[in-house]
Amino acid sequence: MMSKALPRRALGRTRLQVSVLGFGTAPLGDLYMQLDDQAAIATVDRAFALGINLLDTSPLYGHGLAEHRCGTAIRRVPRHAIVLCTKVGRWMDPFHGRGDGSNFVGGQPHRAVVDYSYDGTMRSVEQSLLRLSTDRIDLLLIHDVDVWTHGADAIEARFREAMEGAYVALDRLRSEGVVAGIGVGVNEADMCVRFANAGRFDAMLLAGRYSLLEQPGLAEFLPLAEQQGIGVMLGGVFNSGILATGAVKGAKYNYKDAPPEIMNKVARIERVCKAHGVALPTAALHFALGHPAVASVVLGAQGPQEVERNVAALSSQVPAALWADLKSEHLLDADVPVPSQA
């Protein structure tokens, strides 16, 4: 059963209406820890029950496992009630082992093959449709074309391959009505700008580069998204953990232990939040939704209780004075958009 309790926003120029809180499924691919199927699927069920209708997944997550689990979950609700987003750029080779170096401790025993070609993209989409047990996908994103993933020496070749291959394939699928929108999902605001200037994209998922802690996406990408009618989804709004945990020992920033300057800034932000009686992750979530280009914030969860906690944080009130104090202490720039609620 699906609730409509969460607010929804239009996703760019698409006809899609997405909940302001989306569900990210990397944990369902056994990211850092293994989940059993029952717990994973129950987490998606709870997200749907609380009004989350945007489900963001990828072949990479558990090398297909997250998509398999999502496929089971979405069969329990009307397909039209879900906005289903997955990604291209990797297809799974079932005949070879996974190799080493993955953060997905469980998952499927299949090797991820990086491939942004036209044929590789079509292969990836076909595999995703089979794993998701559906005949259509609402959003397809070109995944991880960024320096973070491929390195500075390879990024130009990867970008060219993506525009000459994956983009052409997705544009065709959009024109045929197989998908409602196409876009990119990356970790760098500069790459969002490059893609936005190179093709006609409907949506972009930017991870970690627009948060209460840092706003590299503010100067160029978010205004460009507004101008072009690109719907923005934000991931990583806790910067890999530190905006959820606070500046505690071992706090993570960009998947590593946070350096002293980040710890210090977060501690200062946390003091302002505490003075207003607002939990740090609640402020971080509300801040991310304060920019007019942002349609949804995508958060992962490992269990139903985490989904409930995220939805509760969204329902909490954040006083305008908190944003004013963060700006007066130069923890936010004076012109950064903030939520308008009192």
Residue with tokens 């580069």: 209
Residue 216, amino acid: P
Strands 231-235, 21-24: pairing is unpaired
**3-state SS, one letter per residue, for the chain:** CCCCCCCEEECCCCCCEEECEEEECHHHHCECCCCCHHHHHHHHHHHHHCCCCEEECCCCHHHHHHHHHHHHHHCCCCHHHCEEEEEECEEEECCCCCCCCCCECCCCCCEEEECCCHHHHHHHHHHHHHHHCCCCCCEEEEECCCHHHHCCCCHHHHHHHHHHHHHHHHHHHHHCCCCCEEEEEECCHHHHHHHHHHCCCCEEEEECCCCCCCCCCCCCHHHHHHHHCCEEEEECCCHHHHHHHCCCCCCEECCEECCHHHHHHHHHHHHHHHHCCCCHHHHHHHHHCCCCCEEEEEEECCCHHHHHHHHHHHHCCCCHHHHHHHHHCCCCCCCCCCCCCC
Residues belonging to the active site: 56, 61, 87
